[in-house]
A and B are shown apart, each in its own frame.
Chain A
Amino acid sequence: MPEAADKISVTVDGKEVKADPGELIIEVAERAGAFVPRFCYHPRMKPVGMCRMCLVEVSSPRGPSLQPACFVSVADGMEISTESESVQKAQSGVLEYLLLNHPLDCPVCDKGGECPLQDQTLAYGPGESRQVEEKRHFAKPIPISTLVELDRERCIQCARCTRFANEIAGEALIDFFGRGEDTEVAIFPGKPFDSYFAGNTVQICPVGALTATPYRFKARPWDLEQVESTCTLCSVGCRVAVQSSANEVVRHLGIDIDSVNHSWLCDKGRFGYLAMRSETRLLEPSLRESGELVEVSWSDALEKAAALISEAKLAHGPQAIGFLGGARLTNESAYAWAKVAKAVVATDNTDAQLGDGIPAELVLSLPRATIGDACRAKKVIVIGEDLKEIAPVLFLRLRPLIAEGKIDLVEFSTHETSLSNLAKASIPLVPGELGTRVRALIDSIKGTKDAGEGIGIDIQEIKNATQTLGSLENNPDLVVIYSNSSAIENTEDLKAGILALEESFKNAKFMPVLKRSNIFGALDMGLSPNLLPGRVTFGAAKEYYKKQWGSVPEKSGMGTLEMLHAAAESKIKVLVLLGCDPIADFPDAKLAKEALSKVDSVIFVDSLANTSLDYADIVLAASMDSEREGSFTNLEGRISRISKKVSASGSSWPDWAIAIELADALGDDLGFGSLDDIAKEIARLAPAYQGLRSTLSLNSEVDEGILLPVKATKVELKRKQGDPMVHLGLISVEHQGAPLKSGASNEPGVYSDEKQQQDIGSTISLISKSDIKSDTTSKPETAASGAKSLRLVVTRKLFDRGTHVDSSLFFRDLVPEQEVRIHPETASSLGISSGEKVSISGETCKVSGQVILDNRVDQSGVVLIWNVSEEDVRSLVSNSEKSAHWVEVES
């Protein structure tokens, strides 16, 4: 931030304002309270100055002149008038021009009532058009993708959509076509606007030219009610405005939050609400009776569940009960369920990750980077999955910065990702080899070894990476974003690689990326073996929690893999599924099926049916987003609010309520009876959350959420004024049920002061690097066994057949076909070619898919996608403990 001394002074309509040199007139005017009408300008994109709506009168040595406020910068002493006569004439002139060819079909236009063209015409426009000729005509809306329709007559050629697609998303699938008056937005024939981010263009279109197919004719803006909430479809946690009409959610809009999503959403998040109305919704509690699930009352269901748990516990001890999942829960629900498991049932067998994640100790103990840190970093290392597929909006924030050369990217990946062609270095990755390759890179930077010596990979890429990263000494500008490169591999190698980086690059920050929803909140709340709520280990906090909760498990418990094995061996008798689908989510589907069929009872707590439902004995129907409230912790460790907008469907309950009632049925009292109570207990007890005062009724001055651990955080920027051009209501989203507040400090900028901490602070230390256990015995497998000679690598796509996607008709169309990525040379040695349909066989099963040649794939491997077809890659995974799977590809 420049010092006040660097500020310059300008007047806006006679009012003096301070400004930073280089600031745009439009921004300064807005700060001075003068709204400058505009169409093409968007605060998150580069100005193009096309619509000419923003003309203001600016003084200059040669007299006043009209200047576009959206790209002319202020200069010291500048006098700006936003409402002089000539400005008004220009504004009304531009509006008359825009309306010449704009149809007046406002009554049937989705945008009617929240349309900047309508509003600005009212405020600044001429009363009538003087044109006598016909308007321009085009065929009315044409679909340009599954989710977006284009009405070219309404388009005012502001280039917001084309710029978004090109500059932000990096997918110029739409472009202007033609010239002058005949300019229209168009796709290439046969190549639709299939971008994960297409929905954003609907949000930023200042007229009704781009509309969202699911929303068309669904509501009138003046009937909409809205709250601010958080999207929970991945761990980025974008801020959304949830809008409803007649108690039904009809639209999600991205809210402009400086630290997270800059107003953008991915289409999965934008249209994810459609699953609420899916026919696979679970609306009532039910019990399995002679093979069929039969609706019952809550009390019957809970009683039965409690009885099954008590019996198992009595007969086989608490270890015979396991809790799987929890990423779908709010923090409060996760806490309540952790307490049910660890204090009431007294088992530590809880795991929110399904064997496809990252070890919780690693996630929680390394210095965590925020999205802002990553965007401000000069260098970023991305390891593992394609960010676009697992954290879309994080990708969206980073991509333009990398493309503009503001961030130098080094990538380690098993195949070509959406960032590969922008990377300064793209180091090929074979699962099991990350540690070796990272060490080779570090050696090369140190100069102790030549680039890539002895590891047999493209030396040039290591050289490029060496050059990009420069030195090991001090790297405050380095952020490492990591995920597991193959969904079916164990994480020892990942751990080794990350720890090597952490040791070598001083001051680097780390961002773990886990795909699933509120997984970070679930881990923070202790839904993981060996952990207790608030980022503390079982070892460190056992006594503390025993005192607070009255009881904790005797010994530490099992993770998902061990639990499933134990279940398959009938050692676990009851499995509680907390919003999870082990058959679809766990890498070894066979083991999951066996486990579910062997256990005595499966208690299924969820909102949507999934493949594991077949095994459920008791179904406890949970509410979905927008029907529930609570808080969410994203991959940065930022807490934000999930808000309720509509009443719960059917008889579903929020998960925390189910936990409380189940505990009650088990004859125990969790010590809280409301969401507010739980939030207070978390803020009182859970060490990393201590100081977070989360009274739901309080209004917050913090829109950006709160970073954990609470004690260490400062208030980040206040929310930037978003794009007032679109959905004018967005700037006044009601903070219903929302905001969080931390500490009790009066001092703006600091969440909690020293004294406050002493009052509330426990002395338990948070989990740290020394808690990371390394399994030195497991050596990565590198040699092929038998005839199957290609190593199977499994990556994820944003739209797969996961429960949420499968529950929406629109989404089902977006699930890709199985891709078979192989190196061109491997392909030619196998005699197969690009586009060909091939089959991949494992030890027992076969899967088919279409060949994509990718020379980023290792010659010894083949890369497939997780969970996109009936005959899924999971069936190729024979034994989940193995770190490598070998397959054969044939045409």
Chain B
Amino acid sequence: MAVTTFDPIVSRRLRIPNSHTLEVYLANGGYVGLRKALSMNPEDVAAEVMTASLLGRGGAGFPAGRKWAMLKNDLVKYLVINGDESEPATFKDHELVEKDPHQIIEGTIIAAYALGVTQAFIFCRGEFALGFERLQSALNEAYEYGALGRDIFGSGFSLDMVIHPGAGAYICGEETALLESLEGKRGYPRIKPPFFPAVIGLYGKPTVVNNMETVSNLPWIVLNGGAAFAALGEGSSAGTRLFALSGHVNRPGWYEIEMAKTTFKDLIEHPELGGGIRKGRSLKAFIPGGVSAPWFGPNEMDMPLSQDAVAQAGSMLGSGSVVVMDETTCPVRAAWRITKFFSRESCGQCTPCREGSGWIERTMRRIEFGAGRMEDIDLVLDACDNISPGLSWPPKQTTICVLGPSIPSSVNSAITMFRDDFISHIKDGKCNYA
């Protein structure tokens, strides 16, 4: 396998100066896709997206076309764009919102047109304050330009759009928690059934929730056709995708890569991509798709960045973020820090998630800082099992949302892959990596 070359799709303007302005956007093919979409029938736009086999980029990887087809017909429907990006080590939406907000807006208008929606919301993570400002400016520009509001480009289609700020809660990335938050409430994920957004969503109305990157692909897909998109990548992993690479690599950053055609090894080591592990060290482990995903080791380096292949190997491509840990990494510390994240971010509804995350975090901390007991290893695993029975992959869900069952991933990976490290922490009463 190799790193393929292709014309970038979502990232094509990201390196152009002032790409966030309407002027630069228009000079680089902006709003052409929308004009074309408006000349088509809405259902034909949706058909192109179906053909493109565009997978959702928010983490669950559900095909956008199929999600749209599930939207219940109702006179009032909503479209909500998920830009809450908070999965640790994921930073591609951040890049898109700061550098190419018009592309998100254009994609959203296209989706709204295809879905027959007249009001759309873009939920933008609050901590992206600069991105939020740029999105808001872009929105003003789009209204001024006639791409939003009444009778868009004289097509007869009208759409209002609201940019809505988040306020700092990872769980609001979960789509039903996001809707609650958008309704002005605590970000509690909703129980499913009955609250599948496509049937009962925002204000109880059918709602499509799509990720920012997902809709950023739409102008290109409309312009070039779904088939052209599907021709990139392989099988169900169609098109290209932004991967966020971080950790112990020489060139951390985002890279648009043709899906399934490139391996993790390529991503991490190719000189134009990750550029290899820092200081020539060797790889200990990597996380293939955000901290909710189980870890991989050197053996999985040759696996392609394909949704199905990663799933088959017992993890997930998730939010498209790859974290590289070299040989100097303490796996106990890494897993503890990830658990701490979940414990801070659990919404607190489900007992296992609320209480379990805290307890596991405290126990892991004890082990890392030298106060662990041998039985703590099994204790932690059993506590994990009580959140996600069987510790299987994909996890068995006994909580309202999948945040809970995500907690065990890293703990279980760390213990399974590096049990000796746990034992030596306990025996030596300290962390030997520090």
Q: Write the residues of chain A forming the contact surface with B, with a CB cutoff of 8 angstroms.
A: 47-53, 55, 65-66, 68, 71-73, 86, 89-90, 93-94, 96-98, 100-101, 130-133, 156-157, 159, 176, 178-183
Contact = CB atoms under 8 A, between A and B. Distances in A.
B318 interface: no
Contacts of B362: 133
B1 interface: no
A52 B350 contact: yes
Contacts of B389: 66, 86, 89-90
Nearest to A181: B358
A130 B379 contact: yes
30 contacts: A49-B400, A50-B400, A52-B398, A53-B351, A66-B398, A71-B191, A71-B193, A72-B193, A89-B385, A89-B389, A90-B386, A93-B352, A97-B354, A97-B386, A98-B351, A98-B355, A100-B359, A101-B355, A130-B379, A132-B366, A133-B359, A178-B348, A179-B348, A180-B345, A180-B348, A180-B354, A180-B358, A181-B343, A181-B348, A182-B348
A67 to B, nearest CB: 8
A66 B349 contact: no
Interface in B354-370: 354-359, 362, 366
Interface of B: 169, 186, 191, 193, 343-352, 354-359, 362, 366, 379, 385-386, 389, 396, 398-400
A181 B186 contact: no
B302 to A, nearest CB: 31
A184 B148 CA distance: 43
B239 to A, nearest CB: 29
Most chain B CB neighbours (cut-off 10 Å) among A50, A72, A183: A50
A145 B216 CA distance: 52
Nearest to A95: B351
A183 B355 contact: no
Contacts of B355: 97-98, 100-101, 181
A55 B404 CA distance: 15
A201 B379 CA distance: 36
Given A55-B398, A71-B191, A97-B356, A48 B351 contact: no
B352 A48 contact: no
B351 A183 contact: no
Contact of A52 (B344, B347, B399): B399
Interface centre among B193, B350, B362 (most CB of A within 10 A): B350
B6 to A, nearest CB: 38
Contacts of A51: 350-351
B354 A131 contact: no
Contacts of B400: 49-50
B396 A157 contact: no
A733 B69 CA distance: 54
B325 to A, nearest CB: 26
B359 A48 contact: no
A73 B146 CA distance: 48
Given A66-B389, A89-B389, A96-B386, A180 B352 contact: no
Contacts of A176: 186, 348
Nearest to A102: B355
A89 B386 CA distance: 8
A159 B362 CA distance: 26
Contacts of B350: 49-52
A183 B351 CA distance: 11
B359 A131 contact: yes
Nearest to A48: B191
A132 to B, nearest CB: 8
A292 to B, nearest CB: 63
Report which residue of B343, B396, B400 has the largest number of chain A beta carbons within 10 angstroms of its beta carbon. Answer: B400
B358 A94 contact: no
Contacts of A181: 343, 346, 348, 354-355, 357-358
Given A157-B351, A180-B348, 12 more contacts: A48-B191, A52-B398, A66-B396, A66-B398, A90-B398, A132-B366, A157-B348, A157-B349, A159-B349, A178-B348, A179-B345, A180-B344
B147 to A, nearest CB: 37
Contacts of B358: 100, 180-181
A702 B204 CA distance: 40
B191 A52 contact: no
B21 to A, nearest CB: 37
Nearest to A86: B389
A88 to B, nearest CB: 12
A96 B344 CA distance: 20
Contacts of B344: 180
Contacts of A94: 351-352, 386
Contacts of A182: 348
Contacts of B186: 176, 179
- 4 A-B pairs closest in CB distance: A93-B386, A97-B355, A183-B348, A180-B346
Nearest to B168: A179
Contacts of A73: 193
Contacts of B385: 89, 93
B331 to A, nearest CB: 22
A239 B426 CA distance: 60
B359 A179 contact: no
Contacts of A89: 385-386, 389
B351 A179 contact: no
Residue from A71, A176, A181 whose CB has the most chain B CB atoms within 10 Å: A181
A475 B76 CA distance: 31
Nearest to A179: B348
A48 B350 CA distance: 10
A268 B14 CA distance: 66
A542 B192 CA distance: 66
Given A180-B358, A181-B343, A50 B351 contact: yes
A86 B389 CA distance: 8
A352 B344 CA distance: 63
A471 to B, nearest CB: 26
Contacts of B366: 132-133
Contacts of B357: 180-181
A97 B351 contact: yes
A89 B355 CA distance: 16
Nearest to A98: B351
A101 B169 CA distance: 23
Contacts of B396: 65-66
B352 A49 contact: no
Contact of B347 (A71, A93, A132, A180): A180
Contact of A49 (B191, B343, B354): B191
Contacts of A48: 191, 349
Contacts of A133: 359, 362, 366
A97 B191 contact: no
A52 B348 contact: no
Contacts of B354: 97, 157, 180-181, 183
A248 B350 CA distance: 41
Interface centre among B345, B349, B351, B379 (most CB of A within 10 A): B351
B398 to A, nearest CB: 5
B86 to A, nearest CB: 14
Contacts of B191: 47-49, 68, 71
A96 B349 CA distance: 16
A72 B169 CA distance: 28
A37 to B, nearest CB: 12
Nearest to A96: B386
A65 B345 CA distance: 26
A178 B354 CA distance: 12
Contacts of A93: 352, 385-386
Contacts of B343: 180-181
A179 B169 contact: yes
B359 A97 contact: yes
Contacts of B386: 89-90, 93-94, 96-97
Nearest to B390: A86
Nearest to A92: B386
Contacts of A179: 169, 186, 345-348
A39 B241 CA distance: 44
Nearest to B359: A100
Contacts of B399: 52
